[in-house]
Structure 1
Amino acid sequence: MSVHIDPQIIKQNGKPAFAVIPWNDYQELLHNHIEADDSDVWFPNEVVKANVRGDSLIKAWREYLKLTQSELAAKAGMKQSALARLENNTVNPRKSTLLNLAKAMGISVEQLLD
């Protein structure tokens, strides 16, 4: 978008909560939206550090999100012992398992792939 937009900022409790822009500008933003690709996958610094130390991405994300193995396993519909094996890289996860883990942690599957 080449035009400067002055959005209307709506605050809640003194903090910005919403930005209102003209409809045509919104439509242009939608039209010019670029689909995400692998280069758009982000990782918090703490997850990267843990992965560089040797932790699996599953373990690094779980600890970053402050979940126990039991909590994550329950959310993902699996046994804690199975999650432990995945975190220790003793087994390769199935795609369906990665999908369940990603959903349970609120992240994308791409964020669990090395």
Structure 2
Amino acid sequence: MSAPTTKHQVVEHEGKTLYVLVPVEEYRELERLRAGEEPTYPHEVVERLTEGKSLVRAWREYRGLTQEDMATRLGITIPAYQRMEQPGRNLRLGTLKRLAKALEVRVDHLILDDDEDEDAA
């Protein structure tokens, strides 16, 4: 299965990059991150993290969804989705975007810094 890719348009002049055009959704996400807006997590999600569950699984369970529900929303098989839920997985940004949409959360809700990960465990 091929995932949709986001293409950036690069504007150059005399061999120098002047601008990079990005989709507005990606731009807004970057602006939120730049402004220092830290994501917040419901208590139930944090509890699941302390149990050693992955952030993706914690959000799925918090939303009351099954793995089958998520696989259907993503248009993939259940085993493919199950691999995404494994703790310690480093998922690509495109995958995180699809998961965030399916879970109705911001992309940064699916990313923990190393410091935050240690605090949650």
- How far apart are 1:89 and its partner, in Å? 2.9
Structure 2: gaps spanning 5 or more residues: 1-30, 113-121
Q: Which residue of 2 aligns with 1:36?
A: 32
Amino acid corresponding to residue 36 of structure 1 in structure 2 = R
User: Does the 8 Å CA contact 2:55/2:110 hold for their aligned counterparts?
Assistant: yes
Q: Which residue of 2 aligns with 1:103?
A: 101
- How far apart are 1:92 and its partner, in Å? 2.7
Q: If the length of structure 2 is used for normalisation, what is the TM-score?
A: 0.59
Amino acid corresponding to residue 108 of structure 1 in structure 2 = R
Tell which structure's C-alpha radius of gyration is larger: 1
> What value does the CA root-mean-square deviation take over the aligned residues?
1.7
- How far apart are 1:77 and its partner, in Å? 2.3
- How far apart are 1:39 and its partner, in Å? 4.1
Match for residue 69 of structure 1 among 55, 67, 72? 67
Q: If the length of structure 1 is used for normalisation, what is the TM-score?
A: 0.63
Amino acid corresponding to residue 57 of structure 2 in structure 1 = K
Higher relative contact order, structure no. (Cα contacts within 8 Å, ≥ 6 residues apart): 2
2:109 and 2:70 mapped to 1: Cα distance?
Answer: 16
Identity %, equivalent residues: 39
How many residues get paired?
80
- How far apart are 1:80 and its partner, in Å? 1.2
2:78 and 2:90 mapped to 1: Cα distance?
Answer: 16
